Amino acid sequence: MDESYGRLIKQFLTGKTAEALEWLRGGSETSFRNLGEMETEESVEFIERLYDLGAEQVLAVEIDEYPEGENTGHLLVKLPADDHARVKLFAFEREHAESHGFEGTLDEGQEYIYLKLD
């Protein structure tokens, strides 16, 4: 695994971090919580898809706070040991990255993959 990638993951884990579904569902009508440019419901569906693909945990990181709510465009997906689930998650990450003009991440045995949403 690229050493700078490992440092990036460690940096994200030291900032404001929360389990993504719990964090999203902790919002209210007067205090939104969402991912990137998505509405809250769409954000929840995005995270649920990652869990359906086999993620052990999805963390919202680098959470920004505003007077009207909270937002992040950064997720860390904790990868399972199961090879089949890892293949599905890396395929999802690659498709997501390529749709934003970036290359996907290779599976090098890392514990997390990073998803940038905005």
The contacts of residue 108 (CB under 8 Å, 6+ apart) are 1, 2
Q: Are 50 and 80 in contact (CB under 8 A)?
A: no
Torsion sign over Cα 13, 15, 19, 20: negative
CA distance 30 to 78: 31
Q: Which residues in the chain show pLDDT less than 50?
A: none
Question: For every residue of 20-43, which 3-state class applies, written as one string?
Answer: HHHHHHCCECCEEEEECCCCHHHH
pLDDT of residue 1: 54
pLDDT in tens, 71-97: 999 999 999 999 999 999 999 999 999
Per-domain residue ranges of the chain: 3-116
